[in-house]
Structure 1
Amino acid sequence: MNGGIGRMRLIGAVFVLLSAAIVYQMVRIQNSEHSRQLVEMFAKTYNQQVRVIIPERGNIYDRWGNLLAGNKEVYEVGIAPQQVINPETVARDLAAVLEVDYYDTLRKAESYRKEGNERYEVIKDFVPAEKIRMLEEKVNAYEQAEKPKKGPAPSLVGVFWRPHLIRSYPENELAANVLGFYNYLDRWTGRGMLGLEEQYNNLLAGNKQQVILPMNPTEIQEIPEIPPGASLITSLDRDIQAAMERIIDQAVEANGAESGTLVVMDPKTGEILAMATTPHFNPNEYWRYGEVFPLGSYFNRAISQLYEPGSVFKVLTMAAAIDAGAVQPETPFVDVGAIEVGGIWIYNWDRGAWGPQDMVGCMQHSLNVCLAWVAQELGPTQFYKYLQDFGIGRYTGIDLAGEQVYPLSLPGDTNWYPVNLGTNSFGQGVAVTPIQMITAIAAMANDGKMMAPHVVKAYIQDGVQYAVNPRVIRQVVKPDTARTITDMLAASLENEASNALVEGYRIAGKTGTAEIPGPGGYTSMTNASFVGWGPVDDPRFIVYVWLEKPTSSPWGSVVAAPVFSQAVEELVVLMKIPPDEVRQQLASP
């Protein structure tokens, strides 16, 4: 009995090995050089070709159905030499309309008569529809004209055009840094590059199909129809995106900044409503990519460029300390202008001493010394545990290709020193991206729940729409902590009459000014930023502003805070958010 089972297992193993060998041989043969040569010989001998039928690429829409990326019909124009009646007309008209070489076209048009060539010859690809209409008008004119008394009649017989699709971005530069691009000039192996086009390439592209077709399009009887790729509905709002791009462009120019980034998120869902970065890029002309983004620069700074954030990071430090019970808003602190951490002295941004403060005052005046003390009260174990929970040093997982991350140095690492506890508390010595910062701080506007940031709201496949549901990453702080931080930051803006305030709306927020490290230490250039959310009683948005190396002023309160205010003034209109007083009256019984 046992011997029979053993033989059956042996036979089964032999069959498995044989099947694997057959599959291996099939793959090897299909991808071998000999196989490629056979396909080429088949095409030359039988005037046929192995054609990959590419399905229509899926569209990309904003949240309201406005088309951001779609497809446009263009044409391939070619000649069937054996059908050409008047080579001179063919060469003359194609050269004039398509702007191709007359003599090369004439040679191809005469190739059947002179060489017996029956192969279909492509003259030009990616021809716009208006050019085809011009050719059609000539065809109609020749058909209606009287035949000449001598010589061949003008004729475009033997000229054919067949349509195909290219990627099209009807809004040109709008949201290009989010969309990415599709290298459509490569008709057979093109793929999505960067942004959504790369992240969702397989879904957008659909499934290709390989068939054998005559090279002469006049001999093609039927091309198989295959389903299109899936379409994406994004969380972007076209009007908000356009407004934010305009605002950040103006801010970069007005402040002489090297670049600008402005991100708007719904803190309750993690949906990105707008993501505006500079410089801009037109994906319809994707081959100019290198002119706009030289080697070493980033396509989308919001997710790819790492930088030291400065004082906006204090929101996380204070939230962690309050959540752990290390301090409370009313906790007193006497600022003497300096504090020693790990044997190194830390100073305030103005090198001044601010005297008696509470935690609201520490945040309002953005006191480095106070926040370093707060981090010490919290202790390194808890401090870095909270930072990890906030996602510092970790990918947010946003659904865009190209996200970068820098590891967070932790106690025990070779590159961590005791002074890091102090400097990290106010955003120095730690590298983040804007998407990491807005994702972490958005938890303050969402009762302590940190949501996964995402750009795709739904996708449509085979006529069915599938929703992408919001996802909670984790509860990083308690709801009471989040509301306390919100109230503290709203009060600090009001107490200092901040440039970030918006009339009629109570806003919470924090400035950031960070020196930029260089090879020999910190330079005089800064990163100026501001993060804010509102309305504080029912947050509908959180906005992150970052201006890189502004020359008008180094301070986030001067440079970035007014940009935030401008952004919110537009947002409340576009999002139809009434002023606080009106909303509260409507809500009251």
Structure 2
Amino acid sequence: MDGLKTEVKFKRVYPNRELASHILGYVGEIDAEKLAKLRHKGYIAGEWIGKEGLELGYEDVLHGRAGLRTEMLDSEGRFLGDVEKEPAVPGDDIFSSIDLDLQAEAQKALSDVLDMLAAKNGERSGGAVVAIEPYTGYVRALVSLPHYDPNEFAEGISQKKFAALLDDPCSPLLNRAVHGDYPPGSTFKLITTAAALNEGLISPLSRFYCTGSYIVAGLPFNCFVRTGHGSIDLTECLGHSCDVVYYKLGVELGIKRLSAYAHDFGLGQKTGIDLPGETSGNIPTAEWKEAVFKEKWFPGDDANSAIGQGFVTASPLQMAVATSAVVTDGTIFRPRLVEWRRRENSPTNLEKYVSKSRQVKVKSKYFECIKAGMRFAMQEGTAASSGGYALGVAGKTGTVENVPTVDNPNGLNHCWFTGYAPYGYTGNWTAEPLVVTVFVEKSGGYGGAVAAPVAVKVFEAWSKISADEVATP
């Protein structure tokens, strides 16, 4: 019909809705400030660009170039034809390292625990799961709850809806796995152990005696087992997470040496994951405390730092990377969420992203006894009730005690677990080795009872998914 024409309009659709929303991110219309910076790259007003997640981090790869069409109209506005037409150039495609089946299982495992805690505590909390291959750096699952539906942003979210997301006390827009910044608790003892071994303060054959408390500068620092662990070796010390031994090691190491090792394991700095906005966390020093609080550093600060409390903070991703260094005997691979890039929409023009690696400054011989302590935690230690021992899991729990605050009026504990599988043997394990780190905010429980079972479900899912892939012809 004269005067009518059809036009194809593209719309961004996220078929899995909330699943992996913090990874993918969302898009929005380019604003004037951004347009001024990107106009030289061919961006035009009204275009949609990445605002968060991979949509933002890989904007240069995904965007392509907008087309141009100049139309001729008659005096009454009827279309007569095209005067000039420049076709659009599509952007390249990227393929994530995420296994969607594992992502879904990890999300469900964490969601179930958060629902249980909400019913128990009378308030909702959040959490994160990171699953990473220690020998490649590829992230196979990355969950942050609560989440959001990126489809709400696809055609422009209303100010009312966006304000509701921003004002939500559970912070659904916050990627807790990458942007979250929390005391790592006793999971940090993996680093304290490595530092003490490498500095010659202890050996794999050392024995210790825990009376239930340790005096630092005249003040008692209590173990979480108030009656004490008695005589224990290094494996038992790590597996039972004896605080007294680590208070002592923290004081003997001092924050200068301990902070150097923490940085070497990737804490206090960005991991380099291909997502924007990553937190650096915080590894304190005496100079840092003086600058921030105008206070001196005390031996008690050394003791608290050694058990991952005080001023020490890290993201779940950082703790997963640090754990990977233990698994690989000291090699750290940069974590990646994008594994492949396809140029010019060609099935044959594929580029694989390979992570760079580096070596931590700890003798490789010391990692075996750390792994033995993690295995003991699953057998007889703080994670024995999680069910992970039979699967070949080794891990370390963490429980962070909190004082009441405005955001946490009941002072509920944070819970951690970080571990890997398989330990020392293959058994029924057919999958690639996997590190899983779980963080549960304001749980009111303990790492072994709250976070570790979530990780075990992720390990079980990974083993089954890989077995099914092997069985499929």
> Does TM, scored on the shorter chain, surpass 0.5?
yes
- Structure 2 distance, partners of 1:372, 1:172, is 46
Q: Does 1:556 align with 2:447?
A: yes
Structure 1 unaligned residues grouped into runs of 5+: 1-155, 579-589
Assess if the C-alpha contact under 8 Å between 1:376 and 1:421 holds in 2.
Answer: yes
Q: 1:241 to 1:312 in 2, by over 3 A?
A: same
Q: 1:184 to 1:217 in 2, by over 3 A?
A: farther
Corresponding residue to 2:373 among 477, 480, 488: 488
Residue 451 (structure 1) aligns with: 333
- Structure 2 distance, partners of 1:194, 1:541, is 27
- In the alignment of these two chains, the number of paired residues is 421
Q: What is the TM-score of this pair, normalised by structure 1?
A: 0.67
- Structure 2 distance, partners of 1:569, 1:384, is 35
Q: Counterparts of 1:137-148 in structure 2 under 5 Å?
A: none
Q: Does 1:164 align with 2:9?
A: yes
Assess if the C-alpha contact under 8 Å between 1:281 and 1:289 holds in 2.
Answer: no
Task: Write the deviation string for residues 465-513 of structure 1: whole angstroms up to 9, x where unpaired.
Answer: 2211121143343322222211221023212471233364322101110
Residue 231 (structure 1) aligns with: 93
State the Cα distance separating 1:319 from its structure 2 match.
1.8
- Structure 2 distance, partners of 1:477, 1:393, is 18
Residue 463 (structure 2) aligns with: 572
After superposing the two structures, state which structure 1 stretch, 195-204 or 206-215, moved more: 206-215
Residue 437 (structure 2) aligns with: 544
Matched AA of 1:190: W
Task: Write the deviation string for residues 19-74 of structure 1: whole angstroms up to 9, x where unpaired.
Answer: xxxxxxxxxxxxxxxxxxxxxxxxxxxxxxxxxxxxxxxxxxxxxxxxxxxxxxxx
Residue 22 (structure 2) aligns with: 177
Matched AA of 1:525: L
Corresponding residue to 2:353 among 449, 465, 468: 468
Task: Write the deviation string for residues 327-383 of structure 1: whole angstroms up to 9, x where unpaired.
Answer: 123311111222233554311124332221222222222121111112233343322
Corresponding residue to 2:175 among 290, 300, 319: 300
Matched AA of 1:196: L
State the Cα distance separating 1:157 from its structure 2 match.
5.5
Residue 98 (structure 1) aligns with: none
Q: Counterparts of 1:96-115 in structure 2 under 5 Å?
A: none
Q: Does 1:275 align with 2:148?
A: no
Assess if the C-alpha contact under 8 Å between 1:313 and 1:426 holds in 2.
Answer: yes
SS at match of 1:544: strand
- Higher normalized contact order (CA 8 Å, seq sep 6+, divided by chain length): 2
State the Cα distance separating 1:223 from its structure 2 match.
2.8
SS at match of 2:342: strand
- Structure 2 distance, partners of 1:185, 1:210, is 17
Residue 199 (structure 2) aligns with: 324
State the Cα distance separating 1:277 from its structure 2 match.
1.3
Assess if the C-alpha contact under 8 Å between 1:199 and 1:400 holds in 2.
Answer: yes
Residue 427 (structure 1) aligns with: 308
- Structure 2 distance, partners of 1:455, 1:268, is 14
Corresponding residue to 2:81 among 219, 232, 242: 219
Q: 1:251 to 1:435 in 2, by over 3 A?
A: same
Corresponding residue to 1:501 among 383, 387, 391: 387
Higher Rg: 1
Q: Does 1:530 align with 2:417?
A: yes
State the Cα distance separating 1:575 from its structure 2 match.
2.2
Assess if the C-alpha contact under 8 Å between 2:67 and 2:89 holds in 1.
Answer: no
State the Cα distance separating 1:406 from its structure 2 match.
3.4
Assess if the C-alpha contact under 8 Å between 2:256 and 2:285 holds in 1.
Answer: no
Assess if the C-alpha contact under 8 Å between 1:449 and 1:476 holds in 2.
Answer: no
Residue 291 (structure 1) aligns with: 164
Q: 1:248 to 1:374 in 2, by over 3 A?
A: same
Residue 364 (structure 2) aligns with: 479
Assess if the C-alpha contact under 8 Å between 1:515 and 1:522 holds in 2.
Answer: no
Task: Write the deviation string for residues 272-302 of structure 1: whole angstroms up to 9, x where unpaired.
Answer: 1001111121111122444344378343110
Matched AA of 1:421: D
- Structure 2 distance, partners of 1:185, 1:313, is 42
- Structure 1 distance, partners of 2:250, 2:314, is 19
Residue 338 (structure 1) aligns with: 213
Matched AA of 2:423: V
Q: Does 1:194 align with 2:52?
A: yes
Residue 398 (structure 2) aligns with: 512
State the Cα distance separating 1:456 from its structure 2 match.
0.9
Assess if the C-alpha contact under 8 Å between 1:293 and 1:299 holds in 2.
Answer: no
SS at match of 2:459: helix
Residue 54 (structure 1) aligns with: none
Matched AA of 1:173: E
State the Cα distance separating 1:232 from its structure 2 match.
0.7
- Structure 2 distance, partners of 1:516, 1:401, is 29
- Structure 1 distance, partners of 2:83, 2:70, is 12
- Structure 1 distance, partners of 2:116, 2:357, is 38
Matched AA of 1:546: F
Corresponding residue to 1:380 among 240, 249, 255: 255
- Structure 2 distance, partners of 1:493, 1:420, is 30
- Structure 1 distance, partners of 2:398, 2:196, is 19
State the Cα distance separating 1:229 from its structure 2 match.
0.6
Assess if the C-alpha contact under 8 Å between 2:70 and 2:84 holds in 1.
Answer: no
Q: 1:522 to 1:480 in 2, by over 3 A?
A: farther
State the Cα distance separating 1:397 from its structure 2 match.
1.4
Assess if the C-alpha contact under 8 Å between 1:443 and 1:476 holds in 2.
Answer: no
Assess if the C-alpha contact under 8 Å between 2:332 and 2:357 holds in 1.
Answer: yes
Residue 299 (structure 2) aligns with: 418
Assess if the C-alpha contact under 8 Å between 1:507 and 1:533 holds in 2.
Answer: yes
State the Cα distance separating 1:434 from its structure 2 match.
0.8
- Structure 2 distance, partners of 1:476, 1:544, is 23
- Structure 2 distance, partners of 1:174, 1:182, is 16
Assess if the C-alpha contact under 8 Å between 2:25 and 2:56 holds in 1.
Answer: yes
Q: 1:197 to 1:344 in 2, by over 3 A?
A: farther
Assess if the C-alpha contact under 8 Å between 1:438 and 1:544 holds in 2.
Answer: yes
Matched AA of 1:418: P
- Structure 1 distance, partners of 2:104, 2:162, is 21
- Structure 2 distance, partners of 1:500, 1:217, is 69
Matched AA of 1:352: T
Assess if the C-alpha contact under 8 Å between 1:395 and 1:404 holds in 2.
Answer: yes
- Structure 2 distance, partners of 1:260, 1:292, is 17
- Structure 2 distance, partners of 1:484, 1:522, is 40
SS at match of 1:568: helix
